[in-house]
Amino acid sequence: MAFESDEIEPMEPAPAARRRTDQSNGKARAAVAATLDRFGAWRRHLAVFEVSAERRFSPEERAAMLAQCAQIERELGAARTELLLSLADAPRPVAGHSRVVDVEKALDNIETALAGVRRKLG
């Protein structure tokens, strides 16, 4: 069997394949960062109100605590909205990331605690 050329041409090396890494963790962290920063203050306020609701308090103290509860409720709503907007165009692995789900559950828990404090304050 005769070939047109007995010389073998060297093959060009294939370009190095770029390794694709999952970046959903970092993107999810960035999406929830602003919301996470607020949790500490909300929890502190609710803990103080929870204890204060167990003792006698003046009408002025009650009004101040209820006003702060209303402020926390507005901030919770804003945090949820910001979180949803930051994830609106995010790919599914980011929007459904466990970090995002955990933050949403934590927001639910703070809302539940807030409702409990309001019940105790009457």
| pLDDT tier at 54, thresholds 50, 70, 90 | confident
The pLDDT-based confidence of 28 (bands split at 50, 70, 90) is confident
Tell me whether residue 46 is in a domain: yes
Give the chain's count of helices (H) and strands (E): 4, 0
| Residue 1 falls inside a structural domain | no
User: Could you tell me which residues come within 8 angstroms of residue 113 by beta carbon, excluding any fewer than 6 positions away?
Assistant: 46, 50
Neighbours of 117 (CB within 10 A): 22
16 located within any domain: no
Residue 58 falls inside a structural domain: yes
Asked whether the predicted pLDDT for residue 102 surpasses 60, the reply is yes
- Which pTM was predicted? 0.76
More confident residue, 3 or 30: 30
Give the number of C-alpha atoms closer than 13 A to the C-alpha of residue 37, restricted to the C-beta side: 9
The answer to whether residue 36 sits within a structural domain is yes
CA distance 50 to 114: 9
Domain count, the chain: 1
Q: Which of 8-12, 36-40, 118-122 has the lowest mean pLDDT?
A: 8-12
The whole-angstrom separation of Cα 47 and Cα 45 is: 5
Confidence of residue 90 (pLDDT cuts 50, 70, 90): confident
Check residue 6 and give its pLDDT: 61
Confidence of residue 2 (pLDDT cuts 50, 70, 90): low
- pLDDT band at residue 53, thresholds of 50, 70 and 90? confident
On whether residue 50 sits in a domain, the answer given is yes
Q: Give residue 91's domain range.
A: 24-121
